[in-house]
Structure 1
Amino acid sequence: MDRAVALRRPGVSATRRGPAGAAHDRTGAVVNLQLDEKALEQRQELPSARAAEGLPALEATETAHRFGDGLVGVVTRPLGAASKVGVVLLNAGLTRHTGPFRVHVDLARMLAAQGFAVLRFDQSGLGDSALPGKAAGERRHRETDAAMRLLAQEAGVERFVLCGLCSGADDAFHVGASDPRIAGAILLDGVAYPTPGFWVRHALPRLLDFGKVLRFLLSRRNAGPSLADFRDWPARADARRMLAEMVERDARLLFVFTGGAYHYFNHRSQLTACLGRAAASPQVRLEFWREYDHTFFLRKHRRVLLARIGAWMRSEFGAVGSH
């Protein structure tokens, strides 16, 4: 089945379609391709697009793929030899595989420059992928398995690091605990649970503000959806067991919490308090950036995030490609 896929460049307005079906930007350059299945798999970013934006040369190749049960994603591979550890980027909430503010694109290219092949893809019902046909838990494992198989086929990857923000972190935690191919996970505002210490730190400053106390009491009378309605966390005892099992098989985990998790996480010591001794093991690393937004809205914060992930990947799994 043929598909038309528009390639939009950052900072360029929506394309206009010519009489033959091809789209043109304001300079008249063709930026749309009529893609069949084979062309979709072989599509690569045009070098001139990056040059036009004044960006450095792309140290990777990028190809789009349709795989699994109607899933669509982009594989970013190093120009040279690739590590046997690859990275799968999972959707953050309802955002496409580009990630919030294109952070997945930047992350994939940075990791490819370090020698890691990366797949960023749309899970079913999001972005370019088809609607899901099965329950969430089964979907999560089935689609991540298809993603890992594709990355193994395209880049010779044997083990995987799952990376996700918010609901993507939830998926990474669930799959990482059950699949021995998972070498690590990067959990951005991922699983954690309020503890007595959390509530003390959360409540004390607010008790001195009558307005906040009043708003809290009113919110309890008109209770809306809670955090549990939007996140897919296991029971706390199960989460402790799952983390312990990942640590036992020497999987590496990077937890990053931002100010966007203020309603359930507010101190570094909380991770061990809620997830047990495994959270204090050498395999687990923790960053708490209270001043950062949940979606890393500021460019300077995204740069710090990418640098931290890059350093963690090099430390835990080495680097093969150019730096």
Structure 2
Amino acid sequence: MNERAISFGESGALFGIIGSPEIPDPQRPAVLIPNTGVIHRVGPSRMHVELARALASAGLVSLRLDNAGLGDSEIVPGRSDADSTLDLCAAMDALDARNMSTGIIIIGSHSGAYDAHEAARVDPRLIGAVFLDGYIPSTPRAWLNRTMARLTERSRHLPPEPLGISLTPKSGSALHDVLPSEIHYYDAPSHSRMEADLVEFIRRQLSLLYVYTGDVEHQYTYAAQLIDAFPILRGYRHLTIRQIPEADHHFIRRATREALIDMLVDWVLGVAAQRQANPETR
């Protein structure tokens, strides 16, 4: 495989690493891998490096990048705030300019999943998107599951409380009393906007993969939660949902990280094969 550093975007302020097989197939899609939070282009537990190399071994080009102001990418002159959507569109321009692929798939984790969603909204060059621990809608069943989980956990780990004292968290509770899965660091789209976006994704026949780890099991509590929240997804043939309850958000354990990478490569190859067999979906 080959790996090379590139500068791209306005004024060449953005930085990334292109990974490719020895002889790229321009009829296959390329894969875009943005930052996860403030972690630079290597990804959590070097997952982005391992993923890019696995993709190259499977014959696919990838670009793992630093968004503006992160890693080795500078703040783009003239922009008051970092705008990851502009960064990702510039990354797609950089891939297009090299004529190494047909169509682009984006793989985003946590904040990168929100970035991937926003990019998919505005750029039709994306033919597929992967969201790792991204948007998590609530449903009545999920609320019930969360409530039962809280009661079960507290009854198992805490001593009985005096009569008349509620087991539920009170407003103003200390941060360490809140479940990690209830802390939100990134804004997700509203339910109505998410639904409208999904309608557009379906119209474009965008391939979608949603992956949820054990770190969000208190929020994404059952396999069909996304479909129950957005019934328009029911029966959509380009949708895949996977839960990996044994995995943490950063895939620190090598076994779960390797299993995830194998799943992602297989899914991308499946999308590539489907697109080549049905050119009208490109």
Which whole-Å CA distance do the structure 2 matches of 1:246 and 1:294 have between them? 26
- Report the alpha carbon displacement of residue 275 of structure 1 after superposing the two structures with TM: 2.6
Kindly provide the amino acid, as one letter, of the partner of residue 195 in structure 1. T
Equivalent position to 2:54, from 110, 116, 121: 110
Structure 1 residue matching 2:65: 3-state secondary structure = strand
Matching residue of 1:74: 17
Q: Does 1:205 align with 2:149?
A: yes
Runs of at least 5 residues in structure 1 that lack an aligned partner in the other structure = 1-59
- Report the alpha carbon displacement of residue 264 of structure 1 after superposing the two structures with TM: 2.0
Larger Rg: 1
Matching residue of 2:171: 220
Q: Does 1:62 align with 2:3?
A: yes
- Report the alpha carbon displacement of residue 164 of structure 1 after superposing the two structures with TM: 0.7
Matching residue of 1:190: 134
Change (3 A) 1:199 1:126: same
Which whole-Å CA distance do the structure 1 matches of 2:50 and 2:236 have between them? 30
Q: Does 1:275 align with 2:192?
A: no
Which whole-Å CA distance do the structure 1 matches of 2:132 and 2:166 have between them? 29
Matching residue of 1:304: 259
Matching residue of 1:31: none
Q: Does 1:241 align with 2:216?
A: no
Which whole-Å CA distance do the structure 2 matches of 1:223 and 1:235 have between them? 27
- Report the alpha carbon displacement of residue 315 of structure 1 after superposing the two structures with TM: 1.3
- Report the alpha carbon displacement of residue 77 of structure 1 after superposing the two structures with TM: 1.3
Matching residue of 1:176: 120
Instruction: Check whether the contact 2:227–2:233 (CA below 8 A) recurs between aligned residues.
Output: yes
Q: Does 1:97 align with 2:48?
A: no
Instruction: Check whether the contact 1:192–1:274 (CA below 8 A) recurs between aligned residues.
Output: no
Q: Deviations over 1:29-76 (max 9, x none)?
A: xxxxxxxxxxxxxxxxxxxxxxxxxxxxxxx11100111141110001
Kindly provide the amino acid, as one letter, of the partner of residue 145 in structure 2. R
Which whole-Å CA distance do the structure 2 matches of 1:71 and 1:219 have between them? 45
Kindly provide the amino acid, as one letter, of the partner of residue 24 in structure 2. A
Kindly provide the amino acid, as one letter, of the partner of residue 289 in structure 1. I
Kindly provide the amino acid, as one letter, of the partner of residue 128 in structure 2. G
Instruction: Check whether the contact 1:124–1:130 (CA below 8 A) recurs between aligned residues.
Output: yes
Q: Does 1:122 align with 2:66?
A: yes
Length, aligned pairs only: 258
Kindly provide the amino acid, as one letter, of the partner of residue 294 in structure 1. H
- Report the alpha carbon displacement of residue 263 of structure 1 after superposing the two structures with TM: 3.6
**TM-score, scaled to structure 1:** 0.74
Structure 1 residue matching 2:171: 3-state secondary structure = helix
Change (3 A) 1:287 1:235: same
Q: Deviations over 1:253-301 (max 9, x none)?
A: 1111001112421111101112332254111001011121011110000
Higher mean displacement: 220-229 or 296-305: 220-229
Matching residue of 2:210: 255
Instruction: Check whether the contact 1:240–1:276 (CA below 8 A) recurs between aligned residues.
Output: no
Identity of aligned residues (%): 29
**Superposition CA RMSD, Å:** 2.4
